[in-house]
Structure 1
Amino acid sequence: MAGIGCLPQPHQMLLLPKQRNHGVLQCCSNNPNSRKERTQTPKFLKLAVTGVTELLRLLSQSDKNRSDTINSQIDENLVSNIDDILMIIKSDYEKAYFVTGHFTSAIYADECTFEDPTIKFQGRDLYSRNLKLLVPFFDNPSIFLKEIKKGINPKAKYIIASWKLRTHLILLWRPLILIDGTTTYDIDDQLRVIRHVESWKISALEAIGQIFTPGFLRSDK
C-alpha cells in the first residue's frame, strides 16, 4: 500500500498487545482491466491521505540511510526479459512485500510513479519508506497472490497481478481490512518498472470506512 490512510501514529493509538507478523495503488495504465476497476476518489480524501502520509514520514524515527529493501543489488545480467521481471515480482509477493515493506528495489526506476486510489507520488525510496511506516499498524496481515501474468498489449510492456489483502489494525476495536485489488507494473525498454499502479474493487471511501468498523462486525474471510 502506498498511502498511510487516515491513521494516527502508533504511539497515539489505543494499542492491543503486539501481534506483528504495506498504502495499496492506481495510475495511468495500458491495462483495460485497471480502468474498469477505477472509482472516483474525492479530492479531499486524496489530500488528507497525502498530508497524513507526509506527516508520518517526517515524524518517523527510522534511519533513512538504512537499506529498506531486501535485494537492491541484484545482478542486472539476470534480468534479460519481462519474464525475469515477472518472476522477481512473484517472489516479492511470496515475501508479502505489501505488509513487510521488503521488495526488490533494483527492478524499479528511481523515479517510478506509485499510485493507489488515495495517493500518488514518485520515487522508489519514498515508496519503501511509506511501506515501512504501515507495518506497525498491521495485526497478523496477509497478502494472497491470486494471479500474475504479462500484459497482452503489443505496444506496451506490463505485468498485472491480482491479490487479496487481509489484516486487522492495531486499534482498540480491531477493525478488519479486506481489499481485493490489482497492481499493474508498467515496464520501460530498459526493463525497469516505471509505474506501480493499484486499483481496488471497492471505493477509497469504502476502504477508509473499514477502519472505523469494529472487526467483530465482519466475518469476511
Structure 2
Amino acid sequence: MEDRPDVGASAVERAAWAGAEAVGRAMELTGGGTKPVIAGGARPSDRKEAIEAIREDYDENYFVSGAGKMRAYDDQCEFADPFASFRGVERFKRNVSNLGGLMRDVDLKITSFEETKDGLQTEWKFSCVLDLPWRPLLAASGGTTHTLNDDHLVVRHYERWDVEPGKVLKALLRPASKIPENQAEVFMASLTSGDVIGALGASAGVLLTVSAPIWVTSALLRAVTHTEATGLESAFGGLFVLACAGQIAKFLRGIGIS
C-alpha cells in the first residue's frame, strides 16, 4: 500500500512529514540514528494479553524510542497521524528510532488507558527538546487509537494530536530557550519574531565564512583569465555583501545606534 496522507494535512505539512522521515533515514545511513529494536515475542492469545502487550510497549516509550516488542501488532499494521499514513511495523520502528535520536529531555505521560469495543484508546501528553542547532521545543497532547482484529492484533494505530499540525511546525522554528545561547538560537528567535536585523547579524559570520573564500578566489581567477563573472561568482558576491551588511548591523546594534 502506498503512503496515504491524512485529509486534514496540507501539502506543506505532508511535505514536512516526508522530509522528517528522509532526515531520519539519512541519519540511519550515516550512523547518526538509533538502531531500532526488532519487533518480536509471542503473539497474544486473547484480547487481555494483547492489551497487556500494548501496555508493555508504552512502558518502553515505544512511539518515541522505537523500543518495545510490539508483539500485539500485525506486521502490516497501518500507522497514521495528522500528517500521513503508511503500513509496516518495521518502517514505524525505523522512523521513530531515527527521529527519537534527535529528542532530548523527553517527557511522556499516559493520562488515560481505556479498553474499547474495537481495541484500545489512550491519551497522553508529550514534550521534548529536539537536538537541532536552535533546540526547538516539541510539545503536544493527544491520543492513540489501537484497532484490534479478530486475531487480537493491532491493524490500525492512529495518533491524534490535540493541536493544529501547522502550530507544531511553527513551534519547531522557535528555540526552546527564552534566552538564546548560541548564534543558531539568536537567528531563529530573530527570524520568528520578525527581527530582520537580528537574523542578519546572527547569520553574518556563517555567510562570511562561506562566501568570502569562494568569491575572492573566483574574482582573482577572472582577473587572471580576463573572463566575465559567472552566475556563481555573482551569487557568492551577493552573499558576501549581505554578510558584511549583517556584521555592520550587528555592530551598530551593539553600540545602540540601531
Q: TM-score, normalised by structure 1?
A: 0.69
Q: Choose which of 131, 134, 140 in structure 1 pairs with 2:105.
A: 140
Partner-residue secondary structure (3-state), 2:101: helix
**Structure 2, unaligned runs of 5 or more:** 180-258
CA distance in 2, matches of 1:180, 1:40: 17
8 Å Cα contact 2:140-2:161 kept in structure 1: yes
* Paired position in structure 1 for 2:159: 198
* Structure showing the higher strand proportion among its residues: 1
Are 1:40 and 2:8 counterparts?
yes
Q: Which has the larger radius of gyration?
A: 2
8 Å Cα contact 2:136-2:172 kept in structure 1: yes
Are 1:69 and 2:37 counterparts?
yes
Q: Give the share of equivalent positions with the same residue, in percent.
A: 24
Question: Quick one: structure 1 residues 44 and 200, their matched pair in 2 at CA, closer, same or farther if it must change by over 3 Å?
Answer: same
8 Å Cα contact 1:40-1:203 kept in structure 2: no
Larger RCO (alpha carbons 8 Å, 6+ apart): 1
* Paired position in structure 2 for 1:176: 137
* Paired position in structure 1 for 2:60: 95
CA distance in 2, matches of 1:137, 1:161: 24
Q: Choose which of 103, 118, 121 in structure 2 pairs with 1:160.
A: 121
Q: Choose which of 58, 65, 82 in structure 2 pairs with 1:117.
A: 82
Are 1:216 and 2:177 counterparts?
yes
For 1:147, give the aligned amino acid.
S
* Structure showing the higher helix proportion among its residues: 2
For 1:143, give the aligned amino acid.
L
For 2:130, give the aligned amino acid.
L
* Paired position in structure 2 for 1:30: none
Partner-residue secondary structure (3-state), 1:213: coil
Displacement of 1:160 in angstroms is 0.5
Corresponding pairs, count: 173
RMSD of aligned residue pairs (Cα, Å): 2.6
* Paired position in structure 1 for 2:150: 189
Question: Quick one: structure 1 residues 67 and 80, their matched pair in 2 at CA, closer, same or farther if it must change by over 3 Å?
Answer: farther
Q: TM-score, normalised by structure 2?
A: 0.60
Partner-residue secondary structure (3-state), 2:132: coil
Displacement of 1:58 in angstroms is 5.6
Q: Choose which of 18, 21, 35 in structure 2 pairs with 1:53.
A: 21
* Paired position in structure 2 for 1:83: 48
CA distance in 2, matches of 1:56, 1:93: 22
